[in-house]
Amino acid sequence: MPYQVGVTIRAEVSPDQLLPVREWLADTGRKGLTGPPFDVAHLRGVHFARFYLLDEVADLDGRPIPASLVFMSEVDAPLRRHLAELIDVAGDGIDQAFAHCVGYPGPRARRRARIAWLRRHLVPASAYYVNTVGRGLDQIRQEAKLRDALEGHLDRRDWAGRPAAEVRQELQDYVASRGDLSWAWQPPPPLPPMFPDPRGRAQSRHAAAAPADAAGAPGRPPVLDSGPAEI
């Protein structure tokens, strides 16, 4: 059973790229992330993915904090696979996005150099939200298919007056008759008692898991969302 990791990549935007990155974000918002050049739909285990811009601000002492471009995702582990697929699958889009940022090596750089750059710009999360620890994307999609199948079967029959135990048995028999639902008879493998997080520390499988950007907070910048919704 996979466990989820929260991924935040933040990079300073070059001063002369502020207008271009805003235009790029607006254009990408219209197109979405599921298709080219990102093809997020083909990245394994992605629960959501988004880009947003943090404008330049001053800290409490009046010192400027430069504008930065942020990529956030929540994915089924391992993290190294996700970082690799951001280059191998979504590389054209990643190159377009972070070309606006200071020090990005660009599409002509070696694959390893681009992945290393993403890793260097990872921001550790104090907490990240997971609906159910260990429920991976494949399981979510399977369970959605199972629910639709059961609801469809229930809607096609008249169950008036039937005892609950009899209806339950009928539903079990129906699932057993569907080869494409045979997986439902097998419990998912358990999480290991302890599992690593992106910072290399062990986490309990019972640990509370919440991205640190305070969803819905006033003043939160617009985001570009992609990926299936959890059920």
Tens digit of each residue's pLDDT (9 = 90 or more) over 103-112: 999 999 999 9
Instruction: Let me know: does 12 contact 55? Beta carbons within 8 Å.
Output: no
The string of pLDDT tens digits covering residues 128-173 is: 777 777 778 888 888 889 999 999 999 998 999 999 999 999 999 9
Domain range for 143: 138-185
**Predicted pLDDT at 186:** 85
Buried b (16+ CB within 10 A) or exposed e, 12-51: bbbeebbeebeebbeebeeeebbeeebbbeebebbbbbbb
Rg (CA), the chain: 22
The total of structural domains in the chain comes to 2
The pLDDT value given to residue 164: 92
Burial of 179 per CB tally in 10 Å (0-12, 13-18, 19+): exposed
Q: Please report, for the domain that includes residue 83, its CATH number.
A: 3.30.70.100
CA end-to-end span of the chain: 17
Residue 95 lies in a domain: yes
Q: Which of these ranges, 7-16, 170-179, 192-201, has the smallest mean pLDDT?
A: 192-201
Beta carbons within 8 Å of 28's beta carbon, 6+ residues apart = 51, 93, 97, 224
Mean pLDDT value across the chain: 82
Angle at 68 between CA 64 and CA 70, to 5 degrees: 145
* 125 & 101 share domain: yes
pLDDT tops 70 at residue 203: no
Look at residue 22 and tell me if it is in a domain.
yes
Residues 78 and 120 in one domain: yes
215 domain residue, yes or no? no
Q: How far apart are CA 99 and CA 220, in angstroms?
A: 24
Token pair 């640190």 is at which residue? 212
181 in any annotated domain: yes
